[in-house]
Structure 1
Amino acid sequence: MVEIFNALMRSLNNLQDRGIWLRLVGPAVVALVVWLALAFFALDWFVAELLEIPPLTWVAGWGALWLAKVLAWLGGWLAVFALAYLTAMLLAAIFVVPLLVNEIGAREYPDVARMGEDSFVAATGNSVLAAVGFIVGWIGTLPLWLIPGMGLVLPIYWLAWLNRRTFAYDALAAHATKEEWKALFEKHRGKLLLLGVLLGLLAHVPFVGLLAPAFGALAYVHYGLEALRRERDGAVLTLEKTQWERT
């Protein structure tokens, strides 16, 4: 929990920088404009399509057509929100993370050497695969939303998974070797997911939530670079201790 708290506090401290605000607002504005425009033209059609497929056809067949319509509209707006969030996240992962890594890494983690492969293609591929996994998982678990409470739990889980799957890798791609990345992920995977949960909760705040992807990118950069710094310092201490014991 200490690592998560430190990453969030450092990210909040960075908000004093106007340049950081521009990086946060950019993906949110683009995603919001695009998906509100699409919703204006296509939301009625999408809601009608939802009413024609299970489980909403089952609800209507039980005589609760009004409930089916409410669930269809709720599902439609949730889909708009999820796609807007996904768009903002892809924009943040592809365009914002490299800028943050260069800026934050040089200014606050100058002792963390860049030993990874700073590949735009690899980072973009990772983000696209994460987006596909998110969409498949989100749609695949829609029937479970009828279970009381699952409509709250599942969206948070999938956003947390998407945050971790996207930003945990992108934040360290330029600095960590493949071996370091695998070791750090295995060691911190639970905390990285918990950080994603907190950001997923933030994502559900109306309008402000669209800033969550870029803010999440910032938080994961801080978490990843600090974790890498500690891992390397620990490896150096272990090596020095081993050499001292041999002498």
Structure 2
Amino acid sequence: MNILLLALARSVGSLGRLRVWRELLVPAVLALVVMAGLSFFLLDQLVAFLLDEPPVRWIASWGALALAHLLASLGGWLLLLSAAYLVAVVLAGILVMPRLLDLLSSGDYADVERRGKDSALASTANSLWAALLFLLGGVLTLPLWLIPGAGLFLPLFWMAWLNRRTFAYDALSLHATPAEWQELRRRHAGALFGLGLFMAVLSHVPVLGLLAPSLAALAYIHTCLEALRRLRSAPTAIEFNRENA
């Protein structure tokens, strides 16, 4: 079975556990608080700012004021959603991921030996560094919003990148050696980014989107640990481990 579909199916199955839900809800609630606060204080200013910037300003000058206001409002909401999502991802990476990883690895993946390093500091640094790069990348690519449709695609791209950069590393740091992590990233680059993109799209679903970062953490644990299990059980695993010992 495709590893991504298998991981998503197992993630849905994990939602039947009460403890999993307790972990999932914390970032969602905090993201809701951040979203509400930013909306109250910044949404009007963001909309006004976007109305004065191209291409929305051009559309307004052509007389399509309703369309210009709609696009500016949509852009403002997307920016606020990205900010709230960033907060939720960082919290999920720092607070939720270690607890979920301990829960699932001791049960569902008890046969996957821990060969990595248990470092809360490294995981926290990874989450914060990913958040900084996410912000920097978003700012540097703002001029590309002038391209029609880019304003809708770019936030999804950066959210997908943030998911992969944050959760894939955290899901494997405790179990995989550096060589195994490099090999998994090479073999499953498309699946890891595709999972991040799926969760980025999910983040735009009302209410359910608030759970997207926590659900991403859950799905990445299932994806990465299953991929590591398959890597070690493959016929070439012995040769791979010898070469990278």
Scaled by the length of structure 1, the TM-score of the pair is 0.88
- Partner residue in 1 for 2:94: 94
Q: Over alpha carbons, which structure has the higher Rg?
A: 1
Q: Assess if the C-alpha contact under 8 Å between 2:46 and 2:76 holds in 1.
A: yes
Q: Deviations over 1:46-105 (max 9, x none)?
A: 322333444444444555555443322221111111111111111111100000111100
How far apart are the structure 2 equivalents of 1:77 and 1:231? 42
Q: Which residue pairs with 2:76 in the alignment?
A: 76
Alignment of 1:151-190 (within 5 A): 151-190=151-190
Is residue 39–residue 80 contact of structure 2 (8 Å, CA) maintained in 1?
Answer: yes
Query: In the alignment, what sits opposite 2:10?
Result: 10
Residue 55 of structure 1 contacts residue 143 of structure 1 at CA under 8 Å; is this kept in 2? no
Q: Equivalent pairs: percent with the same residue?
A: 52
Q: How does 1:28-177 map to 2 (within 5 A)?
A: 28-177=28-177
Q: Whole-Å Cα distance in 2 between the matches of residues 219 and 195 of structure 1?
A: 8
Does the 8 Å contact 2:59/2:68 carry over to 1? yes
1:228 is matched with which residue?
228
C-alpha change, 1:55 and 1:149, in structure 2 (3 Å) is closer
* Aligned residue number for residue 218 of structure 1: 218
CA contact 2:137–2:158 (8 Å) conserved in 1: yes
Q: What is the TM-score with the length of structure 2 in the denominator?
A: 0.88
Range moving further from structure 2, 3-12 or 47-56: 47-56
Amino acid at match of 1:39: S
Inter-partner Cα distance in structure 1 for 2:174 and 2:192: 18
Tell me the alpha carbon deviations over residues 110-165 of structure 1, each in whole angstroms, 9 at most, x when there is no partner: 11111111211211121122222222333433443454443443332222111111
Relative to structure 1, the CA distance from residue 198 to residue 134 in structure 2 (aligned partners, 3 Å threshold; closer, same or farther) is: same
- Residue in structure 2 matched with residue 203 of structure 1 by the alignment: 203
Q: Which moved more, 1:60-69 or 1:205-214?
A: 60-69
Q: Which runs of 4+ in 1 moved over 6 A?
A: none
Partner AA of 1:103 in structure 2: L
Say how many residue pairs are matched.
241
Which residues of structure 2 form unaligned runs of 5+? none
Using a 3 Å threshold, how does the CA distance of structure 1 residues 130 and 52 change in structure 2: closer, same or farther?
Answer: same
How far has the Cα of 1:13 moved from its partner? 0.3
Query: After the TM superposition, which of the residue ranges 56-65 and 174-183 deviates more from structure 2?
Result: 56-65
Aligned to 1:245: none
One-letter amino acid of the structure 2 residue matched with residue 50 of structure 1 = L
Deviation at residue 203 of structure 1 after TM alignment: 1.4
Question: Offset of 1:235 from its aligned partner?
Answer: 6.3
C-alpha contact (below 8 Å) 2:145/2:151 kept by paired residues: yes
Counterpart amino acid of residue 40 in structure 1: F
Any unmatched runs of 5+ in structure 1?
243-247
- Opposite residue 182 of structure 1, the aligned amino acid is Q
For 1:25, the equivalent position in structure 2 comes to: 25
Q: Given residue 125 of structure 2, which amino acid in structure 1 is its aligned partner?
A: G
Q: Residue 168 of structure 1: CA displacement?
A: 0.6
